[in-house]
Amino acid sequence: MKNKKIVVGYQGIEGAFSQEAMFQYFGEDIEAKNYKTFEDVFINLKNEEIEYGILPIENSTTGSINLVYDLLDKYDLFIVGEVCIKIIQNLIGNKNSTLENIKEIYSHPQGFEQSKIFIDSLGDVKHIHYHNTALSVKYIKDSNSLEKAAIGSNRACKINNLKILKENINDNENNKTRFIVIQSNLKSHPDNNKITVGIKLKHEIGSLYKVLGEFYNHKINLTKIESRPIGDGTFSYNFYIDLEGNLSHDNLKKALNNITKEVKKLKVYGSYKKCKILT
């Protein structure tokens, strides 16, 4: 009897960078399910239609994917892994198209942001936002237009049998995206060396200073702080903090215990292994 394949969900279609990250993390011997939106991945994980979800959380050029942070909080799910991949954006068109023909370019907003210098150099060309880069590339194929192009991956280009009009159009040649792997339960393992926590501060002078001071006093290295509005009209914020360590470490236990007494809410959103940069 064959082992049952794990079921993983990602946003986009074949050729999406999320699919590439999924294969890098899990390998290709899985059952993959694709969804239209980030929230669809969360919903289907919550409903147990999939075992894991994989979503972009941060790009080295354009910064955080804020919606994913908001959805983590909304659906009460946990980060159990991460993977970082190099993102190479290309301008893709139909076989008989040329760069000079292009009047419209389609892409997810991130694609435009990561390739701004090149796209702006094309002059009076329309920039049209689309659901994601892989769907943009498929749309170009379906349109069969010589005047339309999309920003996308080499994989998406090959899948749709199209042509790269200009390769590697990133503003930054070291353009990378970090993806998180989410699951319904928090995982604690001795090999885990990274943690994500969420904190809602009290409305008091020095409240953030006290939190950061606890991490400093217990020699815990912070790798990222992200703030997101709670949206209740009070201009309050949730702070998402990435830090190095393991939940079993005494210094981390003490720091989190002390912080809990100083804030309105503290939640551990993930315990996992820090990713290596893959190319």
Is 2 within a domain?
A: no
Residues 106, 206, single domain; the answer is: no
Residue that is last in its domain, among 151, 183, 215: 183
Q: 198 and 140 share a domain?
A: no
Domain membership of residue 25 (yes or no) is yes
* Same domain membership, residue 12 and residue 78: yes
116: which 2 tokens? Answer: 């701004």
In a domain, 118, yes or no: yes
Q: Is residue 51 part of a domain?
A: yes
Distance (Å, rounded) from C-alpha 256 to C-alpha 267? 10
Tell me if 188 is assigned to some domain: no
Crossing angle between the packed helical segments 133-143 and 17-26, to the nearest 10 degrees = 130
In a domain, residue 71? The reply is yes
**Do 41 and 179 sit in the same domain of this protein?**
yes
C-alpha to C-alpha distance for 53 and 182, rounded to whole angstroms: 5
**Do 61 and 95 share a domain, yes or no?**
no
SS3 78: strand
- 41 and 97 in a common domain: no
pLDDT at 237: 84
Give the catalytic positions in this structure.
Answer: 177, 179
Do residue 81 and residue 102 come from a single domain?
no
DSSP3 helix / strand / coil % (the chain, rounded to 5): 30, 35, 40
Q: Which residues of 252-275 are buried (b: 16+ CB within 10 A; e: fewer)?
A: beebbebbeebbeebbebbbbeeb
Q: Are residues 83 and 94 in the same domain?
A: no
pLDDT of residue 2: 62
Domain assignment present for residue 277? The answer is no
Q: Are residues 47 and 179 in the same domain?
A: yes
| Regions of the chain with pLDDT less than 50 | 1, 278-279
CB 97 within 8 Å of CB 146? yes
Number of domains in the chain: 3
Handedness of CA 66, 70, 73, 78 (dihedral sign): negative
pLDDT at 275: 87
What sign does the dihedral 174-82-252-242 (CA atoms) show?
Answer: positive
Residue 1 inside a domain? The answer is no
Burial class (CB in 10 A: 0-12, 13-18, 19+), 231: exposed
Q: Same structural domain for residues 113 and 80?
A: no
**CATH code of residue 115:** 3.40.190.10
Residues 95 and 162 in one domain: yes
For residue 247, what is the domain's CATH number?
Answer: 3.30.70.260
In which domain, by residue range, is 105 found?
90-166
Query: What pLDDT score does 9 carry?
Result: 98
Residues 146 and 208 in one domain: no
Instruction: Look up the pTM and report it.
Output: 0.90
